[in-house]
Amino acid sequence: MVTLLGKTLTELQDVAISVGLPRYAGKQLAEWLYVKRVTDFSDMSNISLKGREKLAEQYAIGRTAPIAEAVSRDGTKKYLFKSENGEYIESVFIPEDDRATLCVSTQAGCKMGCRFCMTGTLGFHGQLTTADILNQVFSIPDSAALTNLVYMGEGEPCDNIDAVLRSVEVLSAAWGCGWSPKRITVSSVGYIPGVKRLLDECDCHVAISLHNPFAAERADIMPIEKVYPIEQVVSLLREYDWTHQRRISFEYICFGGQNDTMRHAQGLRHLLKGLDCRINLIRFHESPDNSTLAEFHSSTSEQMEWLRDYLTNIGITTTIRRSRGEDILAACGMLVNSLQQDKS
Ligand code: SF4
């Protein structure tokens, strides 16, 4: 069975022709999939009965409901999905006063091996398809409430860039969901080949996981630094215009004494000098059960506030991101579902 979710308008026109429907039925298919979001061919009422039957024989829509849900005391919800290839992955729905954000996974597990990240301890279990990514967006019960999407769940999005770009295209195309790309942020640890394509081939916001401005210290916690140094990533970012609609931000998890000192603040100042960007400081979530992360500790609130004020005073817009969903292991870097662990 070929999955339809994730196909472009042109591809859906070819699908229509393949089952004996006119080419224009491709547009109708796109509307059923991406606007009305039906989960069954029988609901596609403006497509002939024979056409629907033939579609059902050869194609799958690609929608599957989450198989489990956990709700935090702060309202954050974590959903567990099974991917097309049978891997277990998680998404996190984060409601706030004026927005509702979904954090989606792009890979099952991750191969980047960041030492502070629980997802990284899972290892890599495979790429998600475009359908897997879109299914997280469309199949959560809160889908209609979504205002924003961040690609910050399991995996390194720029290491699965074809599926990521295609999902962004479906979400933002006029024939697709029609979202503004400004509602979408794709994160990366700085996997340069994928970051370059992200910058060249779509208009969504970009967030780079920075966590330390010094190469040797960053390499110690993020192996990617040895292959694609953060200085090269920042040089690449400098080639693009960030003064208009598109936004570049840097994610910075604060580890007490390890990356939150005056020396680090000055390192950030030097690294990002002149770049129109913002920094999001993130509290590190100490994991109750994971001794492999025991060497990492969160900065104090006072130190994070000091770092925020220092960076803001030198002209870098800096915020402290509010922690969400910690009690259900849904916060940043905590996605490590037990079903996938059991398979590992
Ligand atoms: Fe992978 Fe992101 Fe975790 Fe690094 S922080 S191991 S890139 S999921």
Of 63-67, 79-83, 117-121, 160-164, the one with minimum mean pLDDT is 117-121
Please state, in angstroms and rounded to a whole number, the distance separating the CA atoms of residues 227 and 121: 20
Which atom of ligand 1 lies at the shortest distance from residue 335's CA?
8
Q: Is the pLDDT of residue 292 over 90?
A: no
Q: Whose CA is nearest to atom 8 of ligand 1?
A: 155
Range name among 181-195, 218-232, 323-337 with the lowest pLDDT average? 323-337
Query: How far, in Å, is the centroid of ligand 1 from the Cα of 144?
Result: 28
Structure tokens at 343: 């398979």
Residue 17 carries which side chain, given as an amino acid letter?
I
156 Cβ below 6 A of ligand 1 = yes
Could you give the residue ranges of the DSSP H alpha helices within 239-277?
262-272
Task: Supply 314's token pair.
Answer: 């030198």
Query: What is the tens place of the pLDDT at every residue in 139-162?
Result: 999 999 999 999 999 999 999 999
Percent of the chain scored above 70 by pLDDT? 94
Report in angstroms the alpha-carbon separations of 323 from 53, 220, 265, 338: 48, 25, 22, 22
The string of DSSP codes covering 25-69 is: HHHHHHIIIIIS--SSGGG-TTS-HHHHHHHHHHEE------SEE
Q: What's the start-to-end Cα distance of the chain, in Å? A: 27
Read off the tokens for 129: 């398809």
State residue 125 phi and psi, 5-degree precision: -125, 10
In terms of DSSP bridges, do strands 77-82 and 88-95 run parallel, antiparallel, or are they unpaired?
antiparallel
Residues 25 and 18: beta-carbon distance below 8 Å: no
Question: Residue 291 has what pLDDT?
Answer: 62
Residues 278-297, mean pLDDT to the nearest whole number: 80
Of ligand 1's listed atoms, the one at least distance from the Cα of 188 is 7
Question: Residue 247: pLDDT above 80?
Answer: yes
Q: Phi first, then psi: give them for residue 147, nearest 5 degrees.
A: -115, -25
**Of 232, 152, 226, 156, residue with least CA distance to 189:** 156
Residue 117 beta carbon below 6 angstroms from any ligand 1 atom: yes
90 is catalytic: yes
Look at 245 and 316; give whichever has higher pLDDT.
316
Q: How confident is the model at residue 326 (pLDDT cuts 50, 70, 90)?
A: confident
